[in-house]
Structure 1
Amino acid sequence: MREAIELDTIDRAIIDTLQGGFPICERPYAEVAGGLGIAEADLLRRLQRLLDRSVLTRFGPLFQVERMGGAFVLAAMRVPETDWQRVLAVVNSLPAVAHNYRRESERNSEFNMWFVLAAESEAGIDAAIGQIQQSSGLQVFSFPKLQEYFVEMKLPVRP
């Protein structure tokens, strides 16, 4: 169980503000900081602290790789518990792995490791899957996107 982390009013305002967009300008952090009434250096320090403490797991843009000519796919594996750490290291060692997580469900316990592969091409996806299968000795199941949905979800950070 993780230790509770105290967020002050400014931390909460940073999280709330950055969920709604990020300015495209020469000094976006300075613009955001100015809107929050703090210095740019303070904003950067606070963002890094939120990342270091895993309050934020990621801060950065989301790209539609297909529009840029790339490819991505959701993938899953059946990983025996006794082999979990080894396979986790294999999967996470590839730069094509965007994120990897464990999922356990009473309804569908068949797949327990899920990850996203992103590459410059379909061939890059195939190569990553092949490398994972060869290195792990386990099959990778690929679930390509059939249809895209956009669901905007903003979560207010409350005291």
Structure 2
Amino acid sequence: MSRPAPAVIDELDRHIINAVQGGFPLVDEPYREVADSLGTTESELLTRLQRMLEAKVLTRFGPMFHVERLGGRFVLAALAVPEERFDEVTARVNALPEIAHNYRREHHLNMWFVLATETPEGIAAATRRIEADTGLPVFAFPKLREFFVDMRLKA
């Protein structure tokens, strides 16, 4: 499996990435406020965010919730998927609303995903459903400690 070429981002893209990490304004027009702080327009900000999402520079843009504080649970989970079934299993796993994101790894456990549920019991139920749908055992790795990684780019 080859890695994609690095994406090209400019100084404004870097400023945008830094600005939208944490502290997003809770106002009527948050994108306009962020754009104003960066010296650009709301339209340009939204266009650049969309482009970075499509180019996979950003894999996700949205709020982060502490699911445990809301009564839920999440785990990092993995499957050992036979190569000839990878696309089929990916579609089955990604069809579940409990799947936050899914990615491929070069390892025996070659499919990793985040499983998030509204209740602690939901993890076991979702795991059983994935195992029933795919015929493959799910390896679930619950969070033992939480780490926050803040990525700031030089602009």
TM-score (norm 1): 0.85
Does residue 138 of the first structure (1) align with residue 136 of the second (2)?
yes
Partner of 2:122: 124
Q: Does the CA-based 8 Å contact 1:20-1:154 persist in structure 2?
A: no
Structure-2 separation of matches of 1:112 and 1:86: 14
- Measured against aligned partners, the alpha-carbon deviations of 1:51-101 in whole angstroms (never above 9, x if no partner) come to 122221111111110101111111111112222122111111111001111
1:3-152 equivalences under 5 Å are 5-104=7-106, 109-146=107-144, 148-152=145-149
- Structure 1: which 5+ runs fail to align? none
Aligned residues: 153
**Alignment RMSD (CA, Å):** 1.9
2:16–2:38 CA contact under 8 A, matched in 1: yes
Please give the alpha-carbon distance, in whole angstroms, between the structure 1 residues aligned to 2:58 and 2:154: 12
**Could you tell me how far apart the structure 2 residues matched to 1:9 and 1:145 are?**
35
Shift of 1:150: 2.7
Unaligned stretches of 5+ residues in structure 2: none
Fraction of identical pairs, as percent: 53
| Aligned residue identity for 1:25 | V
Runs of 4+ in 1 over 3 A off after TM superposition: 1-6
- What is the CA-CA distance between 1:117 and the residue it aligns to? 0.6
Relative distance call for 1:20 and 1:119 in structure 2 (3 A) is closer
What does the per-residue CA deviation read over 1:27-61, in whole Å, with 9 as the maximum and x for residues that have no partner?
Answer: 21111111011121221122112112222111111
